[in-house]
Chain A
Amino acid sequence: MIRVRHVSKEYGAFRAVDDVSFEINKGEIVGFLGPNGAGKTTTMRVLTGYHPATKGSAEIAGFDVNTHPLEVKKRVGYLPESVPLYLEMTVSSYLSFVAELKDISRSKRKSEVADVMERCGLTHMQRRLIQNLSKGYRQRVGLAQALIGSPPVLILDEPTVGLDPKQIVGIRQMIKDLADNHTVLLSTHILPEVSMICDRVLILHEGKIVTEKKMDELEKGASLEEVFIAAISQETKPAHA
């Protein structure tokens, strides 16, 4: 469903992502781990078509991100790291706007927005201005906009940041339930979260994939925390182009 081949992304002389390749099959939930500045967000941005890769190619549902960006964007729900919200809008008007952008017909729009708000626990907040919402609620609105239209691929950059413990459990369960019909790539710094919901983990360090393991393989041996620390402690070449 997601295929990344030798993707590199350079910012001037700095190489943020260095020859990254991986594949994610339909229905899989993959955790994307790495310390700050490892290149997780950059890779996700390449996948969503926000910016092009300097080298390599990425495909989603068989469509190349560079040559068929619209087909890719129709199939991807994306929650960026800094949640993009129009603060002057209300929750429901913002989500209706997103539904309209995602080409959801007028007849279905209302029920789709109501359904997503229900799933994200936003129904009672629908008339509130986004600027008056707490960080956790803003995060939920961001997640809701990614879920609208039920896209087959979800790319979530730290989806549980700022949520209260009860909501985190709810969102984790929701992501797990999505696995039947969706492919999910999620980045997080919360390691137990990956253990609980992901099928596979990719660890990125200094722009390179240093470890790729299935969770069931992992559970037999060392804990995820040990694997993560070992992976990012490995010597890597200086990340310069």
Chain B
Amino acid sequence: MRNVWTLCKREVKSYFYTPVGYVVLGAYALISGLGFSLSFILYSFWTETPALYDLPAVPDFEEAFLSTYLVYCGTIIMFIGPLITMRLLAEEHNQGTIEMLLTHPLRDRDIIFGKYLASLTMLCLMLFTTSINMVIVYYFVQVEIEVLLFGLLAFFLMGAAFLSMGLFISSICRTQITAATLTFSAFFAFYMMGYMAEDLPEAAPVPAEWSEQAQTNADTVYQGFRTILNELPIDAHAQQMAQGIFQPADIAYYILFIVFFIFLTFRSLEMLKWRN
């Protein structure tokens, strides 16, 4: 555990020895701040004169503002997450420092958790920026503090899921550029799956001339595919959580997602030793 902390500390300091840390946090604060200001102002207009915006009544705060804003913040991680994770292990390969880490008395878990914890520290700094916005919300809107905290948890889990995937991709790449490009592509593919799923029809598009048995089989496969496309996107589960709706499946999704990619990172580091 002590080694995890040692590596994490060095990694976090490294973000700020180079401009990466400042750029990432600055960009996040700017983009999330703009989104917050604009959507908060718009929501205040809605509440004052809903009719002017063709709304039948004042829209639900959690659904119309809070969830949308927090998922938007999580989505920003999709764009700047690769900048956080690209260096984690790819840079060690590139600089040859992985040789130093692997020949010091460290376990694989020290290296992987140390790196992951460092990226989560950056995420927490972003969470802190968003929390300031949440304090403003709490001051102006009648909303339970539990709902806000749960929303922030949704943001954190969404970001942590993105970062675990980025850590794995960084472990299989030799340069930061390839790691960043692959990470962004993977994030984007996961994100777009949700939009693809929305356009799929509910029933399987099976030709009518097929036998009944074939139609049933095709429909079972199609429904499975549709469920995966609906459930897999990283933002899908955060949307409900950010409205303060607690469903164990949503939290389980993120935990399993993170565990899966951390596990792959372990395998990747193991493989590296045999391939070196």
Contacts and interface: CB of A to CB of B under 8 A. Distances in A.
B15 to A, nearest CB: 10
Query: DSSP class of B's interface residues: helix, strand, loop or mixed?
Result: helix
Contacts of A78: 103
B95 A87 contact: yes
Interface string A135-151: 00000000001000000
Given A51-B273, A80-B96, A86-B10, A103 B105 contact: yes
Interface string B228-260: 000000000000000000000000000000000
B273 A97 contact: no
B228 to A, nearest CB: 37
B211 interface: no
A89 interface: yes
Interface in A72-104: 73-74, 76, 78, 80, 82-89, 93, 97-98, 100-103
B102 to A, nearest CB: 5
The secondary structure that dominates the A interface is: loop
A45 interface: yes
A52 interface: yes
B217 interface: no
A87 B107 CA distance: 24
A101 B97 CA distance: 13
B18 interface: yes
28 contacts: A45-B276, A49-B103, A50-B99, A50-B102, A51-B274, A51-B276, A52-B274, A70-B105, A74-B105, A78-B103, A80-B100, A82-B96, A82-B99, A83-B96, A84-B96, A84-B99, A85-B95, A85-B97, A86-B97, A87-B95, A88-B14, A97-B6, A97-B10, A98-B104, A101-B104, A101-B106, A102-B105, A103-B2
Interface of A: 45, 48-52, 70, 73-74, 76, 78, 80, 82-89, 93, 97-98, 100-103, 145
